[in-house]
Chain A
Amino acid sequence: MIRKVMDMKSAVNLIKEGQLLGFGGNSLHRTPAAFGFELANRGLKKLKLCNTAQGIASDILCAMDAVDTLYFGFFGFENQYGLAPGMRKGCQEGKIKVMEGPCTAIIAALRASACGVPFMTMAGLWGSQLIDQLPGFYRVVESPFDGTKVVAVKALRPDYAVLHVHEADEFGNARINGSDYQDVLLSRAAAKTIITAEKIVPTKTFQDNPKLTSIPHFLVAAVVEAPEGAKPGYCFGLYDTADDAGMKAYQKAVKENAVPAYLANVTERRA
């Protein structure tokens, strides 16, 4: 096994302009915020982001004009914190193109990539404008066996999945406690995975209970120790609710066009 531990800057430097990234977690939960903040500092453009329900790691990149395409089923900060301000602004100003799906369609696209096929079929979906308006992503096709209509969703292969997890070893074996949402699938769909972990632990932790390993090490390109790396979001069992002041500060920053100052503040505090 090969050691892959590095600092956040080095991991962020793996990303190139224009790449497709899949950030793990679900909305506020285990969003790889520390990674997203550091990436937003780099000033890359034309990034493409995909996952079922995206969080602040994605939103701050939208707010910094780093994103030109989003694939999502849902993108918001739930009842407590409302709409995602960076995404909303980018879309309303026409800077970001959205390939919207129900969450299952994003999952179908990732499953296609994970299985090495150009599309994955799923039931339902037709009749909505999602299908009519995104022929580059969805097509209605007929079963070759009995003519039943199904929707084909085009494969999405992220250049990197970026996942914030509870524990990882120095080789990249990673464990998620609580729901893994689409993180395990993202690691199989992406070309490579970057892990940010609350804690680096010995490999024996994984050998003692291999059933609890979410990501095997060979899929992983980088491991970064990032305690509280999902803040101002949360992480099951460790910090179970959002950092209210942090979320409000972020929303205020987007509203007042003061994201760079916010970013400088949060990344400086981590350094």
Chain B
Amino acid sequence: MECTRQEMMAIATGREFSNGELAIFGVGLSMLAGYWAQKNHAPDLVAFTEGGVFGSSPVGGLPWGIEDTRISANATSFTNAIDALGCLVASGRVDNAVIGAAQIDKFGNVNTTGIWEEGTQPWKAGRYTLPKVRLNGSGGANEIACGAKKFILMVTHEKKRFADRVDYISSPGYLSGGDSRAKMGFVGGGPCCVVTTLGILRPDPVTKEFYLDAYYPFSSVEEIKENTGWDLKVSANVKMAPEPTAKELANLRAIDTTGSLRKG
């Protein structure tokens, strides 16, 4: 089936959700992936937003953020962020989530804080230095990265976004790899995969370094390696992710009423 890279990314992300999970979908394209999973194969997937909107089924196009009123359609409950993030996420109730990133690294750490000139990153400079580009910050992603039982990273696959080490850890993945995250004692388990516009990366169970697990019908191992900023290891069993079925794509386009995923 003909589909755009973003549609493939949304479907590959949505396939990571199981029926009955309690989830936070995030905002933007990841939200379409979540609502697609609900419609496609996980009718009892339960979602809420970090702002405390529960059980909604957005209408009228892609909500631009968690404060967009379109996100409230058909909601069964409204509370607030203290409840949603401070209690339900922080105490470890959430099964699965999606987090986006400006930059990630080979251990799945997330940077949404800023981009620095090479050599001036705070971890290299040993102090806080001024960023070249100041980004919009962690938002609720840090709480989700620490508290969700697992989470999916959904990132556009570009070399500048896939760094050997992120300039700044806004939200923790597996930190410096191995057992470094486990030692932190988070209630949440860490990123289970990175789903991109080119393929799917998964963490090595021991080193926690992300390797290439699958490419898409329209991408290749070579293209993915070229667009990754570290020497990406490739699974011995690397495979093509199943092409979207007609049903999967029809369900996605029924959710993506305004065609947000068909633009890219």
Q: Which A residues fall within an 8 A CB radius of B?
A: 1-2, 113-117, 173, 188, 203, 206-207, 210-211, 213, 215-218
How many Å lie between the Cα of A115 and that of B91 in the bound state?
5
What 6 A-B pairs are tightest by C-beta distance, nearest first? A116-B91, A213-B77, A206-B76, A114-B87, A210-B75, A188-B87
Q: Which residues of B contact A115 (CB under 8 A)?
A: 86-87, 90-91
**Which B residues touch A173, using CB under 8 A?**
55, 76-77
Report the minimum CB–CB distance from A112 to chain B (whole Å). Answer: 10
Residues from chain B with Cβ under 8 Å of A218 in the complex: 22, 46
Choose among B44, B48, B91, B187 the residue that contacts A1 (Cβ–Cβ < 8 A).
Answer: B44
Contact B48 A216 (CB under 8 A): yes
- Are the C-beta atoms of A2 and B77 separated by less than 8 Å? no
Q: A116-B87, A207-B75, A210-B75 are in contact. List 17 more A-B contacts (CB 8 A).
A: A1-B46, A2-B20, A115-B87, A115-B90, A116-B90, A173-B76, A206-B76, A206-B77, A210-B54, A210-B72, A210-B78, A213-B76, A213-B78, A216-B54, A216-B76, A217-B55, A218-B46
Residue of B48, B79, B147 near A116 (CB, 8 A) is B147
Interchain Cβ contacts under 8 Å between A and B, 23 examples: A1-B44, A2-B20, A2-B44, A115-B86, A115-B91, A116-B92, A116-B147, A173-B55, A173-B76, A188-B83, A206-B77, A207-B74, A207-B75, A207-B76, A210-B53, A213-B54, A213-B76, A215-B77, A216-B55, A216-B76, A217-B46, A218-B22, A218-B46
At the interface, yes or no: B42 with Cβ under 8 Å from chain A? Answer: no
Instruction: Name the prevailing secondary structure of the B interface residues.
Output: mixed
Within 8 A of A (CB), among B169-187: 187
**Contact residues, B75-100 vs A (CB, 8 A):** 75-79, 83, 86-88, 90-92
| Cα separation A116 to B85 with both chains bound (whole Å) | 11
- Which B residues are in CB contact (< 8 Å) with A207? 74-76
Establish whether residues B76 and A210, one from each chain, have CB atoms under 8 Å apart when the complex forms: yes
Say which residue of A116, A188, A203 sits within 8 Å of B187 (CB atoms). A116
A-chain residues with CB within 8 Å of residue B20 when the two chains form the complex: 2
Tell me the bound Cα distance from A213 to B91 in angstroms. 21
CB distance from B15 to the nearest CB of A (A): 22
